[in-house]
Amino acid sequence: MDEEYDVIVLGTGLTECILSGIMSVNGKKVLHMDRNPYYGGESSSITPLEELYKRFELPDSPPESMGRGRDWNVDLIPKFLMANGQLVKMLLYTEVTRYLDFKVVEGSFVYKGGKIYKVPSTETEALASNLMGMFEKRRFRKFLVFVANFDENDPKTFEGVDPKVTTMRDVYKKFDLGQDVVDFTGHALALYRTDDYLDVPCLETINRIKLYSESLARYGKSPYLYPLYGLGELPQGFARLSAIYGGTYMLNKPVEEIVMEDGHVVGVKSEGEVARCKQLICDPSYIQDRVRKAGQVIRVICILSHPIKDTNDANSCQIIIPQNQVNRKSDIYVCMISYAHNVAAQGKYIAIVSTTVETNEPEAEIEPALELLEPIDQKFVSLSDLYEPTDDGTESQIFASSAYDATTHFETTCNDIKDIYKRMTGSDFDFENMKRKQNDVFGEDEQ
């Protein structure tokens, strides 16, 4: 271990594993360590089920009705991949897709007035949806056509909207869309967690709705994908990529000290030895003195023996509860997957509820979501502090990732990866940099 590395990475969360993969592909010498004996850090999948009971300090062991413990892989952080989003692009460019299998999530739903409805995202669905009245449907259809034709480089498609000036609130007014439609467009299509986006120029929102529609167009049922055997497979796939390009991995390595000289990092001390480095990437838990708490997320893992009602018995789905519907500032999300994804015993479903905490009674805040899931066989409740780095790494060369937020997809995580990459290398992130080199060291390209 007493060697010199270009980059040392601490923690094997998804952000860290993708960055170590990219750095290795780009010819950097990487050492990757984790204090835990397993991959994934905060974003791991827990197996067998007994381990989950232990982790949440439940006094009993799982009842026999839960099936075999090793049939379970339970994600600690629930997220889906947007079919046309950045993480899928990263998987394709690095060919990490060869280590994973994905399934399309069967449906996306939105909550209105105590009931759930399928999110209309194509013109045909919009016209058939019960979410809107007849005239509203026509106006919404016009809006969808406008978004589909919109091209930020072609002013002819703007229809009087200035993408860098006009706010989204004004765009909705222009199409005369009512509050309910605005709610599900902003929260279930553009996937915003709060309503702050309404008073910002509309370009990002239009692009987010385009991403949703293009992702949906790829597979038809929903815009989301989910890997068989759980999200814990993702960091491991990128870790394999790093190893192929000469990255060194060490699990179960306690980190005793981050060694600094003249205000910048020079190495990491573990079990009495120091590995030297020029740059350090880590998750917030490794550098408590360089992060600040930016809020809390509550997540409740619920084991069910039935699909969620009003979802056409889908074996996977997402439900978004827009904040307006439940008098909150931020949305509540439900991600549901099941035995069909090799993450639960036969006939069992896992629904994970999450939201940003707003009061002193976080469990009461998610009550509307839990009501949709009844009856629940077993609940596992976690409260996580959200940390973000206070140091951008310019001086110290320590680059910390942000904690995983309450969103149900990986777009914000990918933005964090691109941002860290830019701060580390000084150049903009380019997907081309992730491409495997023509002749892989270990002849993997023969496969």
pLDDT tens column, 131-172: 888 888 889 989 999 999 999 999 999 999 999 999 999 999
Token pair of 271, please?
Answer: 């079990």
- According to the model, what pLDDT value does residue 3 have? 87
* 86-95, 271-280, 297-306, 337-346: range with lowest mean pLDDT: 86-95
What end-to-end distance do the CA atoms of the chain give, in Å? 32
Q: Are strands 30-33 and 248-250 parallel, antiparallel or unpaired?
A: parallel
Split at pLDDT 50, 70, 90, the class of 438 is: low
CA dist 104 and 81 (Å) reads 9
Q: Does the pLDDT value for residue 444 go beyond 70?
A: no
Split at pLDDT 50, 70, 90, the class of 437 is: low
Q: Does the pLDDT value for residue 61 go beyond 60?
A: yes
Split at pLDDT 50, 70, 90, the class of 445 is: very low
CA dist 130 and 136 (Å) reads 11
Q: Is 333 helix (H, G, I), strand (E, B) or coil?
A: strand
- According to the model, what pLDDT value does residue 446 have? 42
Of 119, 115, 108, 113, whose CA–CA distance to 319 is shortest?
108
What is the residue whose two structure tokens read 């035995």? 339
CA dist 345 and 73 (Å) reads 9
CA dist 150 and 209 (Å) reads 11
Split at pLDDT 50, 70, 90, the class of 447 is: very low
Q: Is the Cβ–Cβ distance between 331 and 368 less than 8 Å?
A: no
Q: What percent of the chain has pLDDT over 70?
A: 97
- According to the model, what pLDDT value does residue 220 have? 80
Q: Is 82 helix (H, G, I), strand (E, B) or coil?
A: strand
Q: Phi/psi at 280 (nearest 5 deg)?
A: -130, 135
Kindly state the average pLDDT of the residues 361-368.
Answer: 96
3-state percent helix, strand, coil for the chain, nearest multiple of 5: 35, 25, 40
CA dist 258 and 2 (Å) reads 14
- According to the model, what pLDDT value does residue 219 have? 84
Taken in order 409, 412, 418, 420, the sign of the CA dihedral is negative
State the DSSP code for 224: E
Name the residue type at position 49. Answer: L
Kindly state the average pLDDT of the residues 8-21.
Answer: 95
- According to the model, what pLDDT value does residue 302 have? 98
Q: Does the pLDDT value for residue 1 go beyond 80?
A: no
Taken in order 416, 403, 10, 86, the sign of the CA dihedral is negative
Q: Over the chain, what is the mean pLDDT?
A: 92
Split at pLDDT 50, 70, 90, the class of 405 is: confident
Look at 126 and 376; give whichever has higher pLDDT.
376
- According to the model, what pLDDT value does residue 66 have? 96
